Amino acid sequence: MKIPGAERAILDAAKVRDYLLSPEHRVGSAKARFFAPLGFDQRNWSDLRDEIYRFATQEAQLGGSTRFGQKYVVPGTIQGPSGRVAHVVVVWIVLNGEDFPRFVTAYPGAKS
């Protein structure tokens, strides 16, 4: 299935730069260690942002429904500046009353 309004997806820069790629973030540091060998870090955070945006328009799986809205889960592969490729899962949410997705998180995915 496609995520509703995917072409208007919102991705907060701070969520990539200061969470996913932060080696100091309490939760995000594990994700930063995952993305580092791919060549992503806080200096080139926009490269990871661009890769994540790609996932908004790919085939998604219906995730959990929360009191805030409907989640969508998009598994796939990502290639970093180092040339390495890894499996990732990107999660989006369409908030109640909205018709476009917002980025929630990305994390290592299972190998297919």
Sequence spans of domains, the chain:
6-108
Reported as a pLDDT band with limits 50, 70 and 90, residue 27 is: confident
**31 dihedral zone (left: phi>0; alpha: psi -120 to 50; beta):** alpha
Report the distance separating Cα 99 and Cα 92, nearest Å. Answer: 12
pTM score of the predicted model: 0.94
pLDDT per position as a tens digit, 46-86: 999 999 999 999 999 999 999 999 999 999 999 999 999 99
Judged by DSSP in three states, 37 sits in helix
Q: Which amino acid is at 46?
A: S
Distance, first Cα to last Cα, the chain? 19
